[in-house]
A and B are shown apart, each in its own frame.
Chain A
Amino acid sequence: MRKLVAHRREDHVAVAVTDLAPGEEVEVSVLEGGPPLRVLVCEPIPLGHKVALRNIGEGEIVREYGEAIGRATRPIPAGAHVHTHNLRSLRWDFGRKA
C-alpha cells in the first residue's frame, strides 16, 4: 500500500494517502512513472495533505502536477507539512497586478 504520491518527478510536494507520523521515512510513488522517491516526514501529515519533497526557499514557486500551485511564504524544509501557513496562491491577487 502506497503512503505518499507525487504527480511528477519534478514536483516540490507529494500528497499523503494515509495519515503520516513524524520520523517516518516514506517511499513516494510517482504517478508519471520511474522509481519511487524517499522522504523523511518531520511533522504529522493528515491524509490528503502535502509534504515537501525537498527544501523550498522563501519566495520560491512551488510545483505540483508539474505546474505552479503558489509561492512559499517562508522557508519549507524537506519532510514538512505544506499548507496555508507556508504557501500562498499566485492568483486572486488582483490588486497587486500591474
Chain B
Amino acid sequence: MSNVPSPAPLNASALTPEGMLSGMRANIRSRKVFDGLFGVVAILALLVSILALVGLFVNLALQGSERIRPEFFLSFPSRNPFEAGILSAWVGSLVVMFVTALVGIPLGIAAGLYLEEYAPKNTVTNFIEINIMNLAGVPSIVYGLMALGLFVYKFQFGQSVLSAGLTLALLTLPIVITATREAIRTIPNAMREAAYALGATRWEVTSHHVLPYSMGGILTGTVIALSRAIGETAPLITIGALTFIAFLPTPPVSTEAPYLSFQWIWDAFTVLPIQMFNWVSRPQEEFQKNAAAAGVILMFMTLAMNGVAIWLRARYRSRVKW
C-alpha cells in the first residue's frame, strides 16, 4: 500500500460542516482519478486483443479473397494452385466431426452426470475430478500419439475417419465433462428435493429434471468443444492423416441394397486445417492464397459453431427460469 500515493486525507480539524464537506469532495475527486485510470487501461487491453484478431482475419481475407469462388469448394486438391480446392477437406472435416460428436457428446454428458449426481463424494472421485481437469491440459499431439498406438495399430482402425473421430472425441471429452458438470451445478437443489419428495428415483430426478434444465449449458459447452476440435491439426497428422486426398468418402446411402453403408468410417480422409498446413508448406506463392482462403473458411465454420452455441444458450435460458 505504501507505494500507492495516498488520497487526500479527510481533514480532521475542519469540523465545520462546510469544511468537512469540501474535504470529503477533495477525497472523492482524488479517489476517482484511479477509477478513471483503470477504465482506460481496461479499454486498451480489450482493444489490443480485438484488434489483433480483426487484423489477422482481415489479412487472411484479403490474401485469400480471390480464391473464394464456388469452384474452390467443389474441387479436389491439385498441383495447379489455380485449380486446387477444398472439397475433400471440408467434407472430411464434416464427417470427422460427425464421428467426434456421436462418440464424445454422449460419453461426456454421461460421465459428467455420473460425477455430479451419482458418484459418492470420496477420495476416489476427487482423484478422478482432478485428473479430468489435467486431461483438458494435455497437449493435443500427445492424444495423437496415444491414438496412433491404440486406434490405428492396436485396434487396426487404420488411418481412417473412425480413428480421427475417436481421437478428437477423446480430446473434447474433458471439456464436455466439465461443461456438463458446471451446467448441472447451476440447478437449485430445491428442484431435486421437490422431485425426490414425490417419490422419484435418482434416474427420474436426473432424466426428468437435472438433464432437461441443464441442457442449454451442456450444449453450449459441447458446441464450443467441437469448434475447438474442428481446428485441431497436430493429433490428426500424428495418426497419419493424408495431406493429398483426391476422392470423397464412400456415400452413406446408395440406391442399391443394402442402401445404408458404413464404409465411409474406414476411408482415408483429410481435414481443412491439414489441407491448409499442406498449402502453407508449399514454396509457390500462389498456394499461400489457397491456404489463406481455406483459413477464412475454417474461421467461418468455427464462428458459425460459436454462434450456434450462443443461440442455444439464449433459447434454453428463455425456456428454463427460476
Real binding pair: no
Taking Cβ atoms with an 8 Å cutoff, the residues of A that contact B are none
Listed in ascending order, the chain B residues whose CB lies under 8 Å from chain A are: none
